[in-house]
A and B are shown apart, each in its own frame.
Chain A
Amino acid sequence: MTKNKTVVNVCMGTGGMASGGAEVLQAFRAELEAAAFPAEVKEHCLAHRVGCRGLCAKDVLVDVLTDGSVTTYQFIKPDMVPRIVTEHIIGKTPVAEWQVGEDYENFHQKQVKIVLSDCGKIDPEDPDDYHAVGGYGTARDVLTEWLPGEVIEEIKASGLRGRGGAGFPTGLKWELGRKARGDIKYIICNADEGDPGAFMDRAVIEGNPHAVIEGMIIAAYAIGAHHGYVYIRAEYPLAVERLKLAIERARRRLFLGRNIFGTTFDFDIQVKLGAGAFVCGEETALIASIEGQRGMPRPKPPFPVNKGLWQRPTVINNVETLANVPYIMRRGYQWYASHGTERSRGTKVFALTGKIKNPGLIEVPMGITLREIIEDIGGGIEGGKKLKAVQTGGPSGGCIPANMLDINVDYESLAKVGSIVGSGGMIVLDEDNCMVNMAKYFIQFTQEESCGKCVPCRIGTKRLLEIMERITKGQGKEGDLELLDTLSNSIKVTSLCGLGQTAPNPVLSTLKYFREEFEAHVRDKKCPAKVCKDLITYSIIEGACKGCGACLRACPAGAVTGEKKKPHKIDPDICIKCGACFEACKFKSVGRD
């Protein structure tokens, strides 16, 4: 990023792309080309793509860097581009009404960015961009000036723990990998981000794949591995593309391959695509999958660090963990450890989603309170609704009720209340969300994703789901809640792998904090949040209906009848309770009870 030049950064992560980022970038390029002073503008203005800067809900976000100052625009569409070019880039007067507001500032203010520090600033497809901010220089320094043991000590001292969920100390894992006997060792980057409602790893790889590659180089050097794999979800096409491109370009610059950085160290990375199985996030299942088998976990021990891929010592680290490594090595363990709490050092990236005003990707110091995240960063609950709970850790995690909002977000504190940090999904639920339904959703997810190898997970989660289903259908029986509790605890203890061992967590934690909601379903056959469709009916409030026909057109079942401009009717026998009419009605004249 050369000084005295105008730079236009167009956010092009998956969020930005979905909102038309590519078209906006194209419009800028075309507009700049055709601008009144083409030579000047072309020479001095670069429009390029950057990765996710977190606040995807306001996409397409565009930064205009000119004369040393940055102006950020939100919700940009291609037809808005000419005005920005004419008034701002050429005319030097920013378009005030399209700029981001106060909440954009608040969103970033309490965040501490390490992993995401370069995301949204550099072109993820260009290693020189990353190089310009110090990237790959760290790996070169490590390889030429550090001993592997020293690297491990540094990481141990930093207090970095695995960001994939379990929180195992990274330095210790590397040490075990270094000590494991074997002449061939592997480092695997786990980018099989399977938690529904989480996209930290996707965003990191889309925004700065080079940090992950550099982290892998350093890890490989520390443990003595010459082969690395990135196991990444095929559902992330953009991340896969950028990662492959980044590896290819790093190879061309001799950052990967033989004698990298001119040293005697060889290291290269292969990308393996996951094929759609959540269980493959589990280490041993992931290994089975890279070997081309069904992703069925096997009992531990032996641990992968001793017997992993092709029976050889294998260290598996999560994307975010590895992306932290170059920054720790660059700035020292003390700097890193100065963030966070005593036992949970550093920062954590969360995907803040659900009923929050400003959903997005955030990086916060460990130990921040949940309230700060929800209220200060996220801007509170959208639509003035009341917060009900925050779900963390996805299908392996639990719910934290609204009255515990002052809890610190770190490994220990969340575990104490029955949830987990997990990989970083953070889903905000408001009064319109049914907690029984949420628990059912997660158990349905894990049940579908169970590999089927062990009995408790294969049949146990199925039975859990069946009980949850009958409860949400108003067919719950006396004793069902106790049965849920017993069965959940058995599954946790007897399942083979982490999937089964954590699958009942969403049920147990909602049962603990929202028992009265369960009881309303079982005893009164009512869904207080009006979500469970077998417990609600839709009808048209006659006095309020304008007869506009929106509900009639929206109804996929043909349950709505009525003439234009006259009150309509819903036939309850035909109604499938999809809620399309409720959504379609602009006059709030569809009742839900």
Chain B
Amino acid sequence: MIETFEAIARNYRQNEGNVISLLQDTQEAFGYIPREAIDYYSQTLGIASSRFFGVVTFYAQFRMKPTGRHKITACCGTACHVRGADRILNSLRLELKLKPDEDTTKDGEFTLEQVNCVGACSIAPVVIVDKKVYSKTTADNILKQLRALKGPSHDEK
């Protein structure tokens, strides 16, 4: 872990990076921002850790917890919204048994992410499951994909 932090911090120094690019590189490497990273950068770069925390919690991109094995990104842009993105999202949350403030299932299998717009409005509504884009999709269709990912052990009621 420390070696990765070191490499990212070195890149930051060499390429006139900023706090955001530093954090983006960190998230790229770990899938989230480990607390150890903030402590490390704060100490080695002399930037107050409160500043890092402020930036991490400001931008929607940054996560402070690891993501699940599968990542589902539901687009909630306007074009998707008028074509029922809400219904898809609700069904997904229900299927994954996520509480309002949760985005990752307890077993660490799925992370459900909501984004403002992926810019694929002509083929709305759009859901991305593990980088595969499902266009003009429905709740039913996405639930099928999820159940398939869950594997045969899942008990179909």
Contacts and interface: CB of A to CB of B under 8 A. Distances in A.
Indicate whether A and B are direct neighbours in the complex (CB within 8 Å).
yes
Nearest to B119: A199
A19 B58 contact: no
A444 B124 CA distance: 20
Interface centre among B61, B84, B121, B122 (most CB of A within 10 A): B122
B143 to A, nearest CB: 7
B24 A580 contact: no
Interface centre among B22, B83, B121, B135 (most CB of A within 10 A): B121
A292 interface: yes
A316 B83 CA distance: 34
B99 interface: no
A355 interface: yes
A579 B120 contact: no
Interface of A: 14-15, 17-19, 55-57, 59, 193-199, 202-203, 234-236, 272-278, 289-295, 351, 353-355, 359-361, 391, 394, 425, 427, 429, 433, 438, 441-442, 445, 449, 451, 553-554, 556-558, 576, 578-580, 583-584
Interface stretch (B2-10, B73-81, B101-109): B73-81
Contact of B20 (A275, A361, A433): A275
Interface centre among B17, B83, B95 (most CB of A within 10 A): B83
Contacts of A355: 82
Contact of A554 (B51, B61, B140): B140
Interface in B25-77: 51, 54-55, 58-62, 76-77
Contacts of A278: 116
Interface centre among A278, A354, A391 (most CB of B within 10 A): A354
Contacts, number: 168
Contact of B140 (A18, A59, A195, A583): A583
Given A275-B20, A556-B95, A556-B139, A15 B58 contact: no
Contacts of B84: 579, 583
Interface centre among B22, B24, B60 (most CB of A within 10 A): B60
Interface in B120-148: 120-124, 126, 133, 135, 138-140, 143
A203 B121 CA distance: 11
Contact of B19 (A193, A292, A394, A451): A292
Q: State which size class the interface on B falls in.
A: 35 or more
Contact of B87 (A295, A353, A553, A580): A580
Contacts of B133: 17-18
28 contacts: A18-B120, A18-B135, A57-B123, A195-B78, A197-B81, A197-B117, A197-B121, A198-B117, A203-B119, A235-B116, A235-B118, A235-B119, A272-B18, A273-B24, A275-B61, A276-B115, A292-B18, A292-B20, A353-B122, A427-B79, A427-B82, A433-B82, A556-B90, A556-B95, A580-B138, A580-B139, A580-B140, A583-B84
Interface centre among A292, A351, A557 (most CB of B within 10 A): A292
A353 B21 contact: no
A34 B103 CA distance: 47
